[in-house]
Amino acid sequence: MQQQGGERKEEEPEAAAAGKSPGAEAVAGGWAWGVVFHFFLVNVVVMGMLKTFGIFFVAFQEEVGGSSEQVSWIGSIMSSLRFLGAPLVAVVCRRLGERPTSIIGAGLVGGGCLLSTQATSVPFLCISMGLLLGMGFACLYQAAAVMTAKRCRTRLAFSNAIARSGMGLTFLIAPFTQLLIDFYGWQGTLLIFGGIVLNLVPSSMLLRPVSTQLPRRSSAKNEDRGSLMAKKDSETLDGCLDETTHGEIQLRSVQDLPTTDGLMMSDGRDVSGPSLPPTKKENSQPLLDFSPLTDPVFCIFTWSFLFSHLAYFVPIFHLVARARTLGISSMDASYLISVAGITEMVSQLLSGWVADQNWTKKYHYHVAYLVLGGITNLLCPLATTFPLLMTYAVAFAVFCGGFMALVLPVLVDLVGVQKLHSYLGFAAFFAGIAAVGGPPLAGWLYDYTQTYVCSFLFAGACALISPISFFFEPSAQKWKLKKAKLNKGPTLG
Amino acid sequence: EKNITLDSAARIELSCRLDNKYSHLKSLQVTWKRGNETIRHINKTENSWSIQLRILDNSKMGSYSCTLKGEEEISAMFHLQVPKIEGKEKPIVSYEGDTAVMICKSLGYTPIAWTWYMTNGSEQIAINDSLLADKYVINRISANVTHLKILKLTTEDDGVYWCEAAFELGKSKGKLKLKVLSLMVPLKPFLAIVAEVVILVGIVFLYEMYSKKKEKCAEDEKEFDQVEQL
């Protein structure tokens, strides 16, 4: 009975498309699309603001003064805090729940924008724009990503891809920003941006906690429904995951989900229904959870994540420069970039859809894309004319889009949704290190070798190194299972 | 046509040379002119003619032309100019009560002095920063760059400003536009957006309360059914 309930819940996002399933299931499916929509908006806003910072750069320099290096610090703080702040945000998220965190994030970004209009010096801007916006972005992104993972269980890859396609729309924001600056000056533009960001508050309200669906499903839960509603989201989430993992074990016999977690929880349930939430509270992780750092699966994932991010950022920076050194005009070079951007968007959607068909484990696709991307990068130095470079750009965009869309689904597959916050937080932290170190490293490579060829070879090498860790995944899962059985032994006996 | 930029007194030589493909033209009459005034020239070589000029002041600046009259008439023009001043194409947007900084650059050449003018109607009035020291501050940041800082902006400061660079051989102007907006101007769209946000928040909130009520009703019915079954 409960398992069927779990399965029905799985099909909600798909049923929502039909829109014909009765009452609550349609609502639940509708909320899933709402979450995807919110994540889409977050991507648009976050990426848009990060990319248009360059336009503000000039205005800041003229009015507020300060050297070019000082002003660029603001941008670096902003984009690096987005990643580096993730572990802290993960803690907040688990404490307060996603919805409040997201609203806080939107508030931080909006407040930072408004505060920046009063800026008179570069250090002021560093804090008001850099710090506040960076932390706000981290909050928004983490809450939205985890909520998407929690809501869209079957169609996670596709939903993730749809949300990520928001990044493709950011090319519209740059001319819009320029227009605003011409009309209102940079202060007025920041004011209006603050308002636009506040729009994320109602869309954050779409991140309804998953728990409220659960009580209707099982009769066992009815008795503590009252108490469940009152308790915090994290605990009820653990409760709701019982059913979904049950359903998942049925549906996804192919994938070895965190079966250890599933087994532990099902045993806990057999003990007693109502007392489950209290024990769960004790069992759930301490506030700043360092356990991901000791988990081999996490190491596998982070290794791959780090190198794939390095492989992603570097060619993007140097593609145009390389085109220029080969004698291609800047019009054609920017054409390259736009084609690559559109291809990436389309490829993300395709890859997400394909991954959701569950023909094989998601990380197999991930590995495949990375390997192909790495080979493409290694072959790039052979591209010396515009058509060849265009082919390279398209191929690279296809593979990049492919693996980028699968990052979140692969992480969810590896660690499950329950612990997603801490894992995602730390993974983002390490990705942030790559993001911060990547561009200077690429620049250094160019200065050292005086040619862009090296950067592409480096990116190709990174892309080939990163999937190596996935070969250890099956053995890591077995190790985890053994460890969990060892831990369980004493409690059962 | 050629543009020649001069900022200080100099001796220059302008020469017109006939290209080889035209050397078949015979009986050429060459005239060097400035406006209507003819200047004596020197026939340097067989196919080139030049004039030498001593430029000491503004009166000698302008356009010089050399004309070759034969079967066809060929001419070339030389424009002697003072260096151009770079102003700003787009208007500078600033707010009431704020400070605006206007920057003028001279490209490559160092002017003797800078003067700033503001346009009042159709007149240009020089800005005296010692007279109105708490309103205008003129700084010469470097030899080629000048800053005009206008403090405590009001809507009356809105308009066109000119920065004039004085060179030995003349003066050159750059145009800048200043737009002074009141704080209400961006505030209106902002408040409109905030109002829209509040409305959306209200809608989402109301919908949530409505769906919770529906859930509760459905729950109660279900519990009732289950109790009946039991």
Domain locations along chain B: 5-80, 94-183
Nearest to A216 among B186, B200, B219 (CB): B219
CB-count burial class (<10 Å; 0-12, 13-18, 19+) for B71 = exposed
Query: If you average pLDDT over every residue of chain A, what do you get?
Result: 72
Q: Across residues A363-390, what is the average pLDDT?
A: 82
Report CA torsion sign: A65, A69, A75, A81: negative
From A113-117, A232-236, A368-372, the region with the lowest mean pLDDT: A232-236
Q: What is the pLDDT of residue A12?
A: 40
Does B5-80 match B94-183 in CATH topology?
A: yes
Determine contact: A38 vs chain B, CB below 8 A: no
Shortest Cα distance from A240 to chain B (angstroms)?
Answer: 17
How far apart, in whole angstroms, are the C-alpha atoms of residue A379 and residue A387? Answer: 14
- Each residue's pLDDT tens digit, A36-55: 888 898 888 888 888 777 77
Contact B193, A192 (CB under 8 A): yes
Contacts of B139 in chain A (CB under 8 A): none
Q: What is the pLDDT of residue A460?
A: 83
Q: What fold characterizes domain B94-183?
A: Immunoglobulin-like (2.60.40)
How far apart, in whole angstroms, are the C-alpha atoms of residue B176 and residue A294? Answer: 62
Instruction: Please compute, for residue B24, the number of CA atoms within 13 A of its CA located in the half-sphere on the CB side.
Output: 1
Contact A429, A84 (CB under 8 A): yes
Taking every pair of Cα atoms in chain A, the longest distance, rounded to a whole number of angstroms, is: 74
Q: What is the pLDDT of residue A489?
A: 64
3-state secondary structure A171-187: HHHHHHHHHHHHHHHHH
- Each residue's pLDDT tens digit, B109-127: 888 888 888 887 777 788 7
Contacts of A24 in chain B (CB under 8 A): 215, 218
Confidence of residue B27 (pLDDT cuts 50, 70, 90): low
Query: If you average pLDDT over every residue of chain B, what do you get?
Result: 82
How far apart, in whole angstroms, are the C-alpha atoms of residue A355 and residue A360? Answer: 8
Q: What is the pLDDT of residue A222?
A: 40
> Which residue of chain A has the CA closest to B147?
A62
Shortest Cα distance from B80 to chain A (angstroms)?
Answer: 33
Q: What is the pLDDT of residue A264?
A: 36
Q: Across residues A375-381, what is the average pLDDT?
A: 83
Contact A246, A262 (CB under 8 A): yes
Q: What is the pLDDT of residue A449?
A: 78
Q: What is the pLDDT of residue A225?
A: 38
Is residue A275's pLDDT more than 60?
A: no
Contact A372, A463 (CB under 8 A): no
Contacts with B, A 394-423, CB within 8 Å: none
Q: What is the pLDDT of residue A261?
A: 36
How far apart, in whole angstroms, are the C-alpha atoms of residue A167 and residue A422? Answer: 25
Cβ of A185 and B190 within 8 Å? no
> What CATH number is given for B5-80 in this structure?
2.60.40.10
Q: B90, B197, B203, B219: which to substitute to probe chain A, counting the most A Cβ within 10 Å? A: B197
Q: A58, A117, A198, A216: which to substitute to probe chain B, counting the most B Cβ within 10 Å? A: A198
Contacts with B, A 163-202, CB within 8 Å: 181-185, 187-189, 191-192, 194-196, 198-199, 201-202
